[in-house]
Amino acid sequence: MQTKKYSKKYSFLYILLLSGLWNIKIVGRSIHRPAYTKRPLLEATWHKDNKKRYCIRSCQLQEEPLFKLFDKDFFYSRMFPQKVEYRYEKGKFCHRQTLNLLLEQLLQEIAEKKRKYTHFHILRKSNFNRRKKSGLLIVKFKEYPFVVKLFMENPKSFVRPYSKGVYPIFFFNMGGGVNRHLMGFTRIKNLEEMRKRIQQDPTWSQMIEAPRKWFWLPKDPQDIQLVGKNIGGKNHLETVIPGTYCIIADAIRLKDTTFSLFDSKARKVCMSLCNFLDVSIDPHIDNFLLEKDSEKIVIVDTEHFPTLVGLKGKPQFNNYFSWYYNLSKKCVQDMFFKSKPDRFGKES
């Protein structure tokens, strides 16, 4: 999975104020009604050392994105195998033991707060906090044809969505408390579901490709324990997730040409594909690349988009303007105009 050096900025930022207030149901609150005492709470600690506890209280917290995205059995069944054949060089293999050594050294260099890494080229670091050692870092092996998405969080950073920039704030409010760390767990499962649907279609199966992907864990992983209270009408919820993990994917050989929103044909093809997949992938145009040899469209970002932004059902969008507009309207509604039953449950 070859990642271009770009800043992925959702266009709904620029039309948020223009579209957000249209057709929104504004619900007022009486000054005589009592305040709610059971506000949802999320608490994070290290699993084996829970002396320091960090928490966040928010009416946006939901059970599904926080406690059901990490599927332990699935995660361990999709770990990087003992050896993997190269995508473009048949008969040539890369061994897990080799990558283990390089990735462990990468983690050590990150712990030392280094700006450059011995065995990796940095592809994207805008979502990674080097000082706090948290966020998403995307790198490529210098000597091997694989890209690595490194996810790192600690209990404190996990419950501080408002300290990570604009987009994490939007996703937290729209997706029920979700973040990129949790969304990483959806990437391979969603990829497999997407492939099944595409392979069954005679048209899309000839046009679409995707990189292979695997999970990876360090040799001494630290897990984060999450405890939820008063979330989704339940008094107590609990799960344990990896604090640091990677997704290793094929590096894709790309053509010089790229998709653009100014290309009407590209817009139509990409949106049609997303609608075919019930918008289970992010329609953002930069997520679609052209493979050099096959000239197929390669989908590089496979996280489950409805979970990220809290879309329900099987949404369909006629075009990119419709997508931007409806997403912007939903963002404003979720952040500022949710009714109390929507925020706290029907029993509130």
Mean pLDDT of 232-240: 94
Mean pLDDT of 100-128: 96
Q: 88-108 burial, b if ≥16 CB within 10 A, otherwise e? A: eeeeeebebeebeebbeebbe
- DSSP assignment letter at 186: G
Q: What is the pLDDT of residue 343?
A: 56
Q: What is the pLDDT of residue 218?
A: 97
Q: Cα separation of 194 and 258, whole Å?
A: 22
Which residue's entry shows tokens 């390089």? 102
Q: Which residues contact 226 (CB under 8 A, 6 or more apart)?
A: 42, 43, 44, 66, 67, 158, 237, 238, 239, 240, 241
Q: What are phi and psi of 128, to 5 degrees?
A: -120, 130
pLDDT at 13 over 70: no
Q: What is the DSSP string of 54-122?
A: EEEE-TT--HHHHHSS--HHHHHHTB--SEEE-SSSTT-EEEHHHHHHHHHHHHHHHHTT-SSBTTEEE
Mean pLDDT of 306-322: 92
Q: What is the pTM of this model?
A: 0.86
Polymer length in residues for the chain: 348
**pLDDT-above-90 percentage for the chain:** 75
pLDDT at 344 over 50: yes
- DSSP assignment letter at 234: B
Mean pLDDT of 313-337: 90
184 vs 21: which has the higher pLDDT? 184
Burial class (CB in 10 A: 0-12, 13-18, 19+), 277: buried
67 vs 37: which has the higher pLDDT? 67
Burial class (CB in 10 A: 0-12, 13-18, 19+), 181: buried
Q: What is the pLDDT of residue 336?
A: 84
Strongest mean pLDDT among 9-13, 178-182, 327-331:
178-182
Q: What is the pLDDT of residue 36?
A: 56
Q: What is the pLDDT of residue 190?
A: 98
pLDDT at 276 over 60: yes
**pLDDT-above-70 percentage for the chain:** 86
| Cα 194 to chain centroid, rounded | 16
> What is the tens place of the pLDDT at every residue in 187-209?
999 999 999 999 999 999 999 99
pLDDT at 114 over 70: yes
User: Across all residues in the chain, what is the average pLDDT?
Assistant: 88
Q: What is the pLDDT of residue 32?
A: 56
- The pLDDT-based confidence of 337 (bands split at 50, 70, 90) is confident
Q: What is the pLDDT of residue 10?
A: 46
Task: Give the pair of three-digit tokens for residue 195.
Answer: 């492939």
Q: What is the pLDDT of residue 299?
A: 96
- The pLDDT-based confidence of 141 (bands split at 50, 70, 90) is very high
Mean pLDDT of 84-108: 96
Mean pLDDT of 104-125: 96
Mean pLDDT of 132-160: 96
Q: What is the pLDDT of residue 180?
A: 95
Q: What is the pLDDT of residue 21?
A: 45
6 vs 29: which has the higher pLDDT? 29
> What is the tens place of the pLDDT at every residue in 244-270?
999 999 999 999 878 888 889 999 999
In 3-state terms, what secondary structure has residue 201?
A: coil
